[in-house]
Amino acid sequence: MKHIAIVEDEVLMREELSDLLRKAGYRVDGISEFQDVTSRLLALSPDLILLDLNLPGINGFQLCRELKQKSSVPVLVLTSRDELHDELHALQLGADEYLTKPCRKERLLSRIANVLKRFEGRANLLEGNGYLLDRKTYTLYIHNSSVILPKNQGKLLEVFLTHKNEIVPKETLCHAVWGTAEFIDENALQVNLTRLKKTMSELNMNQQIVPVRGSGYKLVISLFTERG
């Protein structure tokens, strides 16, 4: 059963959508509290997020951006904002579909089904700049080919991709690889980071890992990459 999260502040609309989707055979979670909503949605790990843009205390566009930066979950925007520039902006931020209210239920269900079909089998994929990482097998898809990363390298790259544009502390990296940040020799972390950096260089990836003094590491766009 596919799982859909509804981000909608109007109670009647949220209940109506929830009822419609449950009758259509979906498992539904309705979001009614919007503090730290990005983390809550990622923790739910739905197959699709139905997102209103007009939300209290949070910008719907910003929420869409954060979700698409941190996961591959599809986002279908359902909003009363019917201006073309709003639709284009949402799509540029990564929204996968855009519908305006009021919307016929048949159209909404059809669009949901189409988006879910497009993303079938992609739930485990994390998107980097020009490549995809399967977080279950640590298979890296790049340059029309695939490479299976060693487990520790895959775990490290997964952490960087789930913390896009963020500085990742050394403790977070250690915990990802060894399940703890205690009693870990920092040299062991450096060895694994060096190996990942070498792999990324050999694959001519246009991102690189850079140290941030006193804070940790960050995945950034490479200024120079070799071209074969």
Q: What is the CATH number of the domain that holds 209?
A: 1.10.10.10
Tell me which residue of 4, 6, 3, 22 sits closest to 14, measured CA to CA. 6
Cβ(176)–Cβ(189) below 8 Å: no
pLDDT digits (tens, 9 = 90+) for 39-85: 899 889 899 999 999 999 889 999 998 888 777 789 999 999 999 99
Tell me which residue of 142, 163, 148, 143 sits closest to 209, measured CA to CA. 163
Of 92, 118, 144, the position where a domain reaches its end is 118
Give how far the C-alpha of residue 137 lies from the chain's centroid of Cα atoms, to the nearest Å: 17
* Together in a domain, 172 and 99: no
* Together in a domain, 88 and 18: yes
pLDDT confidence tier of residue 115, bands split at 50, 70 and 90: very high
Q: Containing domain of residue 73, as a range? A: 3-118
Q: What is the pTM of this model?
A: 0.61
* Together in a domain, 138 and 67: no
Sign of CA dihedral 75, 78, 81, 82: positive
User: Looking at residue 228, what is its pLDDT?
Assistant: 40
User: Looking at residue 121, what is its pLDDT?
Assistant: 65
- Average pLDDT of the segment spanning 194-201: 96
What token pair was written down for 32?
């009614």
Of 90, 118, 146, the position where a domain reaches its end is 118
Tell me: pLDDT of 225 over 60. Answer: no
Cα dist. 181→43, 138, 155 in Å?
Answer: 22, 22, 14
pLDDT confidence tier of residue 192, bands split at 50, 70 and 90: very high
User: Looking at residue 62, what is its pLDDT?
Assistant: 92
Tell me: pLDDT of 160 over 70. Answer: yes
Length reported for the chain:
228
Of 94, 118, 142, the position where a domain reaches its end is 118
Share above pLDDT 70 across residues of the chain, in percent, rounded to a whole number:
96
90: left (phi over 0), alpha (psi -120 to 50) or beta: alpha
* Together in a domain, 69 and 152: no
pLDDT digits (tens, 9 = 90+) for 82-100: 999 999 999 988 899 999 9
pLDDT confidence tier of residue 135, bands split at 50, 70 and 90: confident
* Together in a domain, 114 and 23: yes
- State the alpha helices, DSSP H only, in 102-215: 105-118, 151-161, 170-178, 186-202
Cβ(98)–Cβ(108) below 8 Å: no
* Together in a domain, 33 and 101: yes
| Lowest mean pLDDT across 13-27, 66-80, 118-132, 207-221 | 118-132
* Together in a domain, 138 and 212: yes
User: Looking at residue 226, what is its pLDDT?
Assistant: 45
Q: How many domains would you assign to the chain?
A: 2
Place of tokens 């520039």: 85
Q: Where are the beta strands (DSSP E) in 40-96?
A: 48-51, 54-55, 58-59, 75-79
- Crossing angle, helix 60-70 and helix 84-92, to 10 degrees? 20
Cβ(69)–Cβ(41) below 8 Å: no
User: Looking at residue 70, what is its pLDDT?
Assistant: 76
pLDDT digits (tens, 9 = 90+) for 11-23: 999 999 999 999 9
